[in-house]
Structure 1
Amino acid sequence: MNWFPWRHSLRWRLLGATLAGLVLALLLAGVWLSGLFRTHVLHQFEATLTQQLEQLTAQLDIDATGQPVIDARALSDPRWQKPYSGLYWQLDRVSADGQTRVGALRSRSLWDSSLALQADALADGALHTHEGRGPQGELLLIRERTVGLGEPAGARWRLMVAADTRDTLLAVAEFRGILTASLLVLGTLLVLAALAQVAVGLAPLRALQRALGRVREGQEARLQGRFPAEVQPLIDDFNGVLDRNAEVVARARTQAGNLAHAIKTPLAVLGQAAAQSLRQPQSDHQLAGLVQEQVDTARRQVDWHLARSRAAAAHRLPGQRTAVAPVATGLVRVMQRVHAARSIDMDTTNLPEALAFAGETQDLQDMLGNLIDNACKWALSAVRVSASGAAGVLNVWVEDDGPGIDDTARATALARGTRLDESVPGSGLGLAIVDELAHLYGGKLRLGTSALGGLRAELSLPAPQA
């Protein structure tokens, strides 16, 4: 099992890197924005307390008896007067020995409670911030300062302002919730954008895959289509390889053909000389017959190897496509002329025009030509050629109403040079050539019994994909 498919997938690599970057960026953005908002809100909260403390300090005074007084009516915020409102002030006296008198004065909002703070050494006028608990246990932010005022000289007072942080912290929590939801929505949109980006970015590769499929199935000889500038050099190089491969194959086929023609010419001369010698009464008929026999054998071998080399060179060559119906009907017309004296009825009505063979035209002609010629040699009065195709496979049937071949002899009939009946002219290579060519293309030749009563040759070959 492949536990890491992304290692071999460009799509998963791009998506994985993008998603990892998005998650990290959104987490950092969420933490930073949340912290920034909390700091800003608490800073504003503290600044408001400082303003309240400044106002309270301005109202602090000493009466005729030396006691501190604060005119509560001069304070602007009505929460000072409302019990347990969440906004409190308190004045403590700090004696010379450091003892503190808690709650010398306090706001009405504290009612009968006091703010208990830890001892804190403050310079006059210096501001300190603490956290503490209010009269109902709520969390308070406390802002305080120490001032020297009144008699005896140097008397010091600890003045503090406190406010409930619950609403502020709730606002921070609500902001975090909204921020989290917003980042999730943003992350989802970015993920969709990343998916779209990867899909659009890899679309040329899918187009390249389809183009390669068309070349592999023989629909086109070269990669066709418009591709991005980053991919086009690869397309050009691949098409160059296909062109060079086609040139090499064409050169090899030309050389094989030239060699075959070069050998056939002297063979033809020898054959003619042997035939003339046989017609002369005083010639050595035995020698001429031997020469004729060997010439025929050499010619059959040339035909055999020429067809085999041509098929091997063209096997799975990209861009190969040959229509079946024109080849079959052309061969039937030729065979009608060759066997015109026998008046054989040849049926080609079941040959769909759309059927095609994924290979060379000449190879298809060799295979069908041998099968049709063999059927005409053995047929009594009828030969039928039909074809069908499905799922990339082409099936062609050639049937006759002749004597057929027994089951035990069918395998032997496909062997090279085997002739089941010497009375019928032929080389014994026809069916063997067809079988060999079919195998080179990944196909197969099967022999069976025809509905006409004779032999049925079924040829299975590759067909171009639709």
Structure 2
Amino acid sequence: MLHIDRRSLRFRLLAWLGGVALFVVMTTWLLHGILLQNLARDFLGERLQREADHAVTQLEQGEAAMPAALDSVSRGYQVFHHLYVLRLNGSVSASNPQWQQQLAPLLEENGDALLDVKQGDQHLLVYRRHFEWQGSNGVLLVGEDFSQVEAGLATLHWWVGGIAAGLLVMLITLNMLAVNRSLTPLWQLRGQLAELQAGERERLSLTAPAELDALVAQLNRFMDDIDLRLQRSRESFANLSHALKTPLAAVTQVLRGNRPIDENRRQKLLSRIEAINAQLDAELRRSRIAGPNAGRMANVTRDSSRLIEMFRSLYPERMFNLTHSAHEKDQVPIEAHDFSEIVGIVLDNAGKWASRRVHCDIAVSATTLTLTIDDDGLGVAEEDLSRLGERGTRLDERRPGYGLGLSILAQLIARYSGHSHFERSPLGGLRVTIILPLAGEMAN
């Protein structure tokens, strides 16, 4: 039994196109029948009117007595028409006495008109003409049997219906061919997706309609993002393996040794364990970077306000201020956790080194997000500004840390195709400016 998937795009297109084609053909056929009959009726009515006018003209120009005139009209209309009825001076003459009684009421009505008279299966088309003849008012009815014409029109109409049915079948067949050909790129896409799943190809590459360009490009970006996350995961494990092997071996050796652990050695062990913990925390933070293809949005006002409140509680002796111009575009295409990491790393760094004040400004335009954070600390020497963000670099040992936060920040900014700038702040400390694009393609 043939299975029809009513959810398929092919079925829906064929159903809609077939329905539209059927509606158009049926409407055209019905209109053809109506217009054809009206055209025939108007044509015969105009001919009856001309011949009625001709008969009246003959009567008005004739000088014969009334019986001779009636005979003349009778002989003429018996040749050219099925019937006539003429009333003049109270006398009524008809070419077919059977219709005289049926058409008599029409003689009493006023006005010239084309009339339809039906009796049984017979349909008569009658034109009524009022006139004056020798000071008398007369009425002439000229009629023709319309039934035979209608029978011919019906035959023609059904022939046209047969031709229309053939055209409908041809149109549906052409629709099927057009739909099947148009859906070929989708079938190719399905095949290439199966090849991707089987590991037989790495990217999608097909000649697709313009409507599928964005879909193919987005799927390829997802593929690039998956590869990048896999590469980053492997690099993180390699970094952890390399960074933790030596300190873990040293700690294990000390713990297995027979020498007593004095205060100096205990502090060294604690420092190594803290370094291991910092390394683990940094790599975990790197592993949580989602990137621009995650399909998540950050709420600038809500997320930045929440971070400011958190750092006010972490650094109660510092004053954190926030200004932003994001009310018209609160939602930005940056993953919420990534946005919190970017702002949080810079705020945390400013909170550690500020004397009293930290100011954060966030500006959102149609194409970019600009984050500017100032502190009133001691700042960084001009020659050391270029070294900020290097992995493991610490320019001052007076505050706790391992120099990993700004390197994570640099990776986050790179994932969003942004850039950062470090300079002297008007408050006296360090100014960090981060610009992230919000429109166009972002680097994977």
TM-score after normalising by structure 2:
0.48
Of structures 1 and 2, the larger Rg is shown by: 1
